[in-house]
Amino acid sequence: MIEDVRILIVDDQLRARQGLKALLATWPPAKEVREAALGCDAMRLIQDSPPDVVFMDVRMPQVDGLQVTRLIKAGWPQIKVIVLTLYAEYAADALVAGADAFICKGEPPEKVLNTLAAVCHQGSPCCNGQATQPSSSSSSLALVGRPVAWSQPASS
């Protein structure tokens, strides 16, 4: 059973963070939802108190979300990263960077929550408050289960 999931939203757009936070408030397993506007802020929050799941935007100032995903997976491979962006063309790059899932921002809310639940089920311990210690090996980038990728159908 998924419970007590700690989530971090990383997106430079306030409205995107607020909208996702409102959606996550409807998901009973969510214990805590924190926000960061920049990748460097996200890394500070993760170092202080690692979340179980990170929703990561790709295009952000200073450090892009793919680089932050690589850093998270190098230091905390147990943290699940869901890349959530407007740009479907980043799907392959996101999964190569170590993301556990990719979803476009235009997808229905149910798909976002289903993806979150699927990612939590992939590594079971992730969503039970056990994402607490950084990895001692930066080469540990193995994914548990199979990455989940969702994208919007191309518009004609």
Closest Cα to residue 72, out of 93, 91, 92, 44? 44
Range of 97's domain? 5-149
Decide if 9 is inside a domain: yes
In a domain, 49, yes or no: yes
What's this model's pTM, rounded to 2 decimal places? 0.80
Total structural domains within the chain: 1
More confident residue, 33 or 131: 33
Please write the tens of the pLDDT for every residue from 23-42.
Answer: 999 999 999 999 999 999 99
Averaged confidence pLDDT in the chain: 83
154 inside domain: no
Report residue 127 as tokens.
């969503």
pLDDT computed for residue 123 by the predictor? 59
Would residue 156 count as lying in a domain?
no
In a domain, 18, yes or no: yes
**How many angstroms separate the CA atoms of 126 and 108, rounded?**
24
CB–CB of 67/39 below 8 Å?
yes
Q: What is the CATH number of the domain that holds 13?
A: 3.40.50.2300
Q: What is the pLDDT of residue 16?
A: 96
Mean local confidence (pLDDT), 3-9: 95
Q: Give the DSSP per-residue string, 2-52.
A: --SEEEEEE-S-HHHHHHHHHHHTT-TTEEEEEEESSHHHHHHHHHHS--S
Q: Which helix (H) or strand (E) holds 71?
A: helix 65-75
Residue 155 in any domain: the answer is no
Contact 98, 69 (CB under 8 A): yes
Q: Does 120 map to a domain? A: yes
The more confident residue out of 2 and 77 is: 77
Residue 28 backbone phi and psi in degrees, to 5: -55, -35
Q: Under DSSP, is residue 104 helix (H, G, I), strand (E, B) or coil?
A: strand
* pLDDT value of position 136: 36
